[in-house]
Copies of this chain bind each other. A is one copy, B any other.
Amino acid sequence: MTQDTLTRPDTETQFPVTPRNKVKRMHERGSYDRAVIYPILDAAFLCHVSYVIDGQPFATPTIHWREGDTLYWHGSSASRMLRHLKAGMPACLTVAHLDGLVLARCGFNHSANYRSAMCFGIARLVEDPDEKAAALTALVDRFFPGRDATLRPSTAQEIKATTVIAMEIDEASAKVRAKGVGDDEEDLNLPIWAGVIPVRTVIGTTETSPHVPAGIPVPDPLKVYAEGTPLDAALLAAQRIYEGA
């Protein structure tokens, strides 16, 4: 984006606002602040990455992680986007959390509570062996603190079979709705039920693999994933531990 298309410049805390990331619909729900966007990204295990191959858009669900202003995700060396990545390709990585269904007195005011973040940049293949090794460690440790060092080391073939993709975030925006029903003033007394049905993603009971030898307990750092913990809180806690390490 050239300077003359910017409607607000880049700063230490805020991403620039451009025609690409400007929140158009319900713009009062939008933010360009790293302090709003990053916790939305870090609280999710799954994202959707959008890219274009021969004019065809794809939205691919995948696991992402973040180091500062850089997003990472991985794929297999058989992935269809690989051959396009060497040159760098424009991408959009989006995270969305559903928090509730909102039922109003008219169809138009029905809504959802959610937290979403969209990030734009140029996706590139991580080819440098050191950057790739660090990324593969991060892919484990960012979610499961300290786990990588406890594992059987990766083989050369495993590393070769894994593609790591990085994208420095050039622009990003968040959009959040977190409130009750937005009925029109004149609808408030109508004898129609309205309300919010909350939705929450939570951790279940950890299932130990039947092949694990007796006496090997669930590792301590996995306590962030204790049963009943909201997934977003667990992932934020894991990210905080990872960043503190």
* Residues in chain A within 8 A of chain B (CB atoms): 20, 24-26, 45-46, 48-52, 55-61, 63, 75-76, 78-80, 90-94, 96, 98, 100-101, 103, 105-108, 110, 112, 114, 116, 118, 120, 136-137, 139-140, 143-144, 147-148, 150-155, 158, 161-162, 180-181, 183, 187-213, 216-219, 222, 225, 231
Contact = CB atoms under 8 A, between A and B. Distances in A.
Question: What secondary structure prevails in chain A residues at the interface with B?
Answer: mixed
A199 B231 contact: yes
A72 to B, nearest CB: 14
B231 A106 contact: no
A194 to B, nearest CB: 4
Nearest to A210: B180
25 contacts: A24-B76, A25-B75, A25-B76, A45-B98, A46-B112, A46-B114, A48-B94, A57-B58, A57-B92, A59-B92, A59-B93, A107-B139, A107-B154, A150-B192, A180-B207, A181-B209, A183-B211, A193-B208, A194-B211, A197-B225, A198-B205, A199-B202, A199-B203, A200-B204, A201-B202
